[in-house]
Structure 1
Amino acid sequence: MFVRKAFYWWLFPSAVILPAWLLIGWAIFGTGGWTFVGLLVVCPILFVAQLAVGGIMMARRSVRDSRAVSWYDVGLLTAWHLSVVVFGLFIPGVSSWIAVLGILLGLAAFWVSLWELVTEARVRVQQTFDAYERAAQPQQVRRPDDGFADDAEIIVIEEHRDER
């Protein structure tokens, strides 16, 4: 549970820290001016993508209540964030493959978090609908007990009048 809670608190700071790491990594391992121009495009896109995925995850009630993301989220976010960190090292010959992997992992994180949100919302709506449906059905009303047992003998007296 600690790991899931840690990722919950890491969701939004990562939107700032990871793009900043790409710029810092470029400054340390500098690979040229065109790479910097590419980063000026990639960093805002990464920032928005991180915010979108974090926002979708935070939209789930289970995440807000427990203050912990799911294990699916942990796995995808770990892989995605590691790919961004490794990309920031700008290793020659590997960076382009890591960039493609990072894009695919970002898309996977987006769609899986959206799938979890829709699934959880569907379950909650169905439970609410079922509760309203049960409440709307007429209930069987018990009549007050009239004091007679079901097996009691009933005597009927008929009265006849002579008409003269």
Structure 2
Amino acid sequence: MFIRKAFYWWLFPSAVVLPVWLLIGWAVFHPSGWAFVGLLVLCPILFIALLAVGGIIAARKTVRDQRAVSWYDVGLLAAWHATIVVFGCFIPGATGWIAVLGVLLGLATFWISLWELITEARMRVKQTFDAYERAAQQQQVNRPPSGFTDGGEYIVIEEPRDDR
């Protein structure tokens, strides 16, 4: 549970820390000037992607209630964030493959977290609908049987008053 909670608290800080790490990695490992130009485009996109995934994950009620992400989220986020950290090391010859792996893991994390959100929302709506349906059935059971009614017809007989 500690790991799941740690990833929950890491969701939004990672949107800032990981793009900044790419810029620090460029300064430390000195790949090239063109890599810096690429980072100027990549870092804002990565920031938005990390915020979007974090928002989708945090939108789930179970995540907010438990303050912990699911194990699927832990696995995907760990792999995605690890590829971003390794990409920031600018390893010669492997940077392209790491970038492709990072994009694929980012897309997988996005779609799987969206699937979890939709599945959980569908389940909650179904539970709510079932609860309303049970309440309606209980109300029908508590009503008196239809044989006790008089059919809705009333006859009113007025008698004259005797004023003596």
Same fold (TM over 0.5): yes
Q: What is the aligned partner in structure 2 of residue 64 from structure 1?
A: 64
2:10, 2:40 → 1: CA distance? Answer: 23
Question: Aligned with 2:141: secondary structure?
Answer: coil
2:28 aligns with: 28
One-letter amino acid of the counterpart of residue 20, structure 2: A
Alignment of 1:33-44 (within 5 A): 33-44=33-44
Post-superposition Cα deviations, 1:100-126, rounded to whole Å, max 9, x if no partner, equal 000000000000000000000000000
Cα-to-partner distance string for 1:11-65 (whole Å, 9 max, x where unaligned): 0000000000000000000111110000000000000000000000000000000
RMSD, aligned CA: 1.1
Deviation (angstroms), 1:142? 6.9
Q: Which residue of 2 aligns with 1:139?
A: 141
Count of matched residue pairs: 143
Alignment of 1:75-90 (within 5 A): 75-90=75-90
Percent identical pairs in the alignment equals 75
CA shift for structure 1 position 94: 0.3
Q: Which runs of 5+ in 1 are unaligned?
A: 144-164
1:76: Cα distance to partner? 0.2
Cα distance in 2 for partners of 1:94, 1:48 equals 25
- Name the aligned partner's letter for residue 25 of structure 1: G
Letter in 2 for 1:102: G
Asked whether 1:130 is paired with 2:103, we answer: no
Question: Structure 2: how far apart are the matches of 1:38 and 1:48?
Answer: 16
Distance (Å, rounded) in 2 between the aligned partners of 1:9 and 1:56 = 14
Matched, 1:99 2:107: no
User: 2:12, 2:71 → 1: CA distance?
Assistant: 18
Structure with more of its chain in helix, by fraction: 2
Structure 1 runs of 4+ aligned residues shifted over 6 Å read none
User: Structure 1 residue 140: deviation in Å?
Assistant: 4.2
Tell me the SS of whatever aligns to 1:93. coil
Q: In the TM superposition, what is the alpha-carbon distance from 1:141 to its structure 2 partner? A: 4.6
Q: Which structure 2 residue ranges, 5 or more long, are not aligned?
A: 146-164
